[in-house]
Structure 1
Amino acid sequence: MTEPGQVGVLPPLALGQHRVSPPVVLAPMAGITNVAFRQLCREQGGGLYVCEMITTRALVERNPKTLRMIAFGADERPRSLQLYGIDPEVTAAAVRMVVEEDLADHVDLNFGCPVPKVTRKGGGSALPWRRRLFARIVRAAVAAAAPAGVPVTVKMRKGIDDDHLTYVEAGLAAQDAGVAAVALHGRTAAQRYSGTADWDAIGTLKQALSVPVLGNGDIWEADDALRMVAHTGVDGVVVGRGCLGRPWLFADLAAAFAGRSDRRLPALGEVAVTMRRHAELLVDWLGDERDGCTDFRKHVAWYLKGFPVGGDLRRALAMVNGLTELDDLLGRLDPAEPFPVSTLGQPRGRTNAPGKVLLPEGWLADRDADTVPDGAELADSGG
């Protein structure tokens, strides 16, 4: 395991009237951070658990899939919603809808997504390059949220690539617009999820801003979070891929930020119990056993990463159709098999090679152009 930096117990993260303790945020992940997964993680420890990315256009047009995605648990507070938009007026309308219909208690704006279908329209991590348009969107969201006191935050990357960095300028613009906090993933869009996150850049942003700054990137263990705080001085951390197949990471993070050294290393039997709980929550949320188990399949490889489980059993679990079948398959696992410590500190989820960022034609030519590209707004949510 990595050795933690020397960090005192961090105070709660202040987001408007909300206090997030420990100062840990679950990053939105498409197809992952639904009601079921968020509840599973919340059962492990405190923090802010953000739903999947919602597009502003899909929300204001009341797309049925999107409206289902913004469901929250009855005891889920604060309810955190991430919005993706590229049109200031549509963004404002979406935030007004959130406020007027009491859909969430916190709004995060996505300026970090590196997915080509987003960047080729000028959205996500491409958008801060157009600094005037970026500022207009953030100001519109903050103004729409202000009457209800709903805090607005932004999440972004360092920039498009190493030749087109925007994070400090964008962070200052967001702060001037009135955001409650800024989160930075220490990679460029061109890096995607490759290489290592630039924690020095996160520290630079922390030094430049007076609002809370959150660090994101390469937090695989709770001790990584402590090292990031020690290295950068950030006010909290954002965790994404590190919790895939390991919702108990949030228990470790709670312990770490409380100054305790205890960490969870569940044997395979305890992992199987967590897997069953996850599938059950998905079935309850989707209202259909087959649909819930089908959605669960993508998580199997993450849960079993590093455990000596045969290929036939792995494949059967990854094709499960019902809870009774799942129970039978999980019963074939060796409950005494110890946690594979060799996987600690290792990347999880998607890792890919750097690549050229797809952008609208002429996007880099004029940083001060603030017109919204034609067809930029996405009609579907989830990344």
Structure 2
Amino acid sequence: MRCHRSGRKGRVETLKIGPIEVWPPVVLAPMAGITNAAFRTLCREQGGGLFVSEMITSRALVERNRKTLAMIRFAPGESPRSIQLYGVDPATVGRAAKMIAQEGLADHIDLNFGCPVPKVTRRGGGAALPYKRGLLRAILRAAVAGAGPLPVTMKMRKGIDDDHLTYLDAGRIAAEEGVAAVALHGRTAVQHYGGTADWTAIARLKEAVPEIPVLGNGDIWSADDAVRMMQRTGCDGVVVGRGCLGRPWLFRDLARAMEGSAERCRPPLGEVAATMARHAELLVECFGSETHALADFRKHVGWYLKGFTVGAATRAALTSARTLDELRARLAELDAAQPWPQAAEGPRGKSNTRRRVHLPDGWLDDPYEEVALDAAAEADTSGG
């Protein structure tokens, strides 16, 4: 891919998560419907890091739900293998972690305490859960005990809103319970993906829990953003989510930036088209069905073509392709020489703020009250 030069920075240190060494210190954030084995492979082909699966529920895993077990299949040679678990019941989370460890399903477990979607928070899960400090501690303790030798990490947000911040308490609890690293998305649940990520909160968390690695997440749209975040906050690594949508070569940029190189990838449309074809091929391998794979690929087309001059009819033809051969033929019609557009830079994916966070009745009354959440809180949430 074609590259250009940016300002040179010094090489950063390797990230250590328990016994796992991660270089560059970059983590692919779990994203529902995105970070399947195909997308993880595509990103790995560009650069190193830790690539986490889509979120699965602990309940579905211990019950050996067929869809959930399919979601945690890893590509041959994929290492380290990383699973993100969502759970609200300490006993169930503990059993799920033990199952992963004993059956060799993964090498690393990440716990989701950052999901802001209403179907999760209205039942006390995701970004709402850390408000209940005792329940958070119980889940972390059970997960670490169940995981045995496997490192357990957690991903969270600043809190529910600016009046109910939880990240500093949650970070301290995590460190006390043996969690190997914590990742902070510098937004509250009510912000969803709107506004600007608060990198100063990441710096404060690093100061509060210097004994474990802290990873920063939020508004990393380029490799230079990642370097700036690490310099400004002192965090030990970064978590990249929406910034790599339709742009898996961001991981190549990240590796170069972390090494101190000034080279950055800015591929022309022909190289983008080749990456799109490769992505679709990997999806076919992942799902075992061209129909399923091409239907799944549709949502990626707009992200790949962001900023390029491509007509509506051509975009429609690409999203309606039903076979790999048809998709390849449509991609071949694109202007391969069209250069990378400046309009392709910057935010990707939806950016919106919510008016409120949906919570269980009385959830905010007492952050220290003992609470047990209904098992239904984990229903239908594998994959987000």
What interval of TM-score do these two structures reach, taking the shorter chain for normalisation?
over 0.9
2:251 is equivalent to residue 264 of structure 1: no
Q: Structure 1: which amino acid aligns with 2:362?
A: G
Instruction: Quote the residue 1:341 is aligned against.
Output: 342
CA distance in 2, matches of 1:6, 1:171: 33
2:65 aligns to what?
A: 63
Structure 1 counterpart of 2:271, one-letter code: E
Measure how far apart 1:354 and its partner are.
2.8
* SS of the residue 1:95 aligns to: helix
The match for 1:278 is 279
Tell me the SS of whatever aligns to 1:318.
helix
In the other structure, the counterpart of 1:13 is 15
1:189-213 Cα offsets, whole Å, 9 max, x none, are 0000000000000000011112000
189-198 or 282-291: which moved more?
282-291
Q: Deviations 1:109-138 (Å, cap 9, x if unpaired)?
A: 000000000000100000000000000000
> What's 1:352 paired with?
352
Mapped to 2, the partners of 1:330 and 1:5 lie a distance apart of 34
Structure 1 position 380, deviation (Å): 4.2
Deviations 1:71-93 (A, max 9, x none): 01111111000000000000001
- The correspondence for 1:41, drawn from 37, 40, 43, is 43
Q: Does 1:252 align with 2:253?
A: yes
Contact 1:206–1:232 (CA under 8 A) maintained in structure 2:
yes
User: What's the Cα RMSD here?
Assistant: 1.3
| Match in the other structure for 1:98 | 100
**Does the 8 A contact of 2:6 with 2:264 survive in 1?**
no
Q: Does 1:364 align with 2:368?
A: no
How far 1:97 moved relative to its partner?
0.7
In the alignment, is residue 316 of structure 1 matched against residue 331 of structure 2?
A: no
Write the distance in 1 (CA, Å) between the matches of 2:310 and 2:378. 44
Code of the residue aligned with 2:175 in structure 1: it is Q
Distance 1:6 1:304 in 2: 29
Distance in 2 (CA, whole Å) between partners of 1:68 and 1:157 is 28
CA distance in 2 between partners of 1:347 and 1:259 (Å): 24
**Is this contact kept in 2: 1:6–1:227, CA < 8 A?**
no
Structure 2, unmatched stretches of 5+, are none
Cα deviation code 1:144-191 (max 9, x no counterpart):
112xx1000010000000000000010000000001100000000000
SS of the aligned residue for 2:93 comes to helix
In the alignment, what sits opposite 1:214? 215
Q: Which residue of the partner structure matches residue 73 of structure 1?
A: 75
Aligned residues: 378
Percent identity, aligned pairs only, is 62
Structure 1 segments of 4+ aligned residues over 6 angstroms from their partners:
3-6
Cα distance in structure 2, aligned partners of 1:6 and 1:200: 24
Which of 53, 56, 74 is 2:55 aligned to? 53
1:53 alignment partner, SS class: strand
8 A contact 2:122–2:358 mirrored in 1: yes
Alignment of 1:322-337 (within 5 A): 322-337=323-338
Task: Give the distance between the partners of 2:285 and 2:97, measured in 1 at CA.
Answer: 29
Select the residue among 138, 144, 148 that pairs with 2:140: 138
State TM-score, norm by structure 2: 0.97
Distance (whole Å) between structure 2 residues aligned to residue 370 and residue 294 of structure 1: 45
Check the 8 A contact 1:44/1:247 in 2, yes or no.
yes
In structure 1, the residue matched to 2:190 is: 190
1:100-249 equivalence runs, <5 A: 100-146=102-148, 149-209=149-209, 210-249=211-250
Q: Deviations over 1:252-287 (max 9, x none)?
A: 000000000000000000000000000000001111
1:319-352 alpha-carbon deviations (Å, 9 max, x no partner): 22111110110011000000012332x1101111
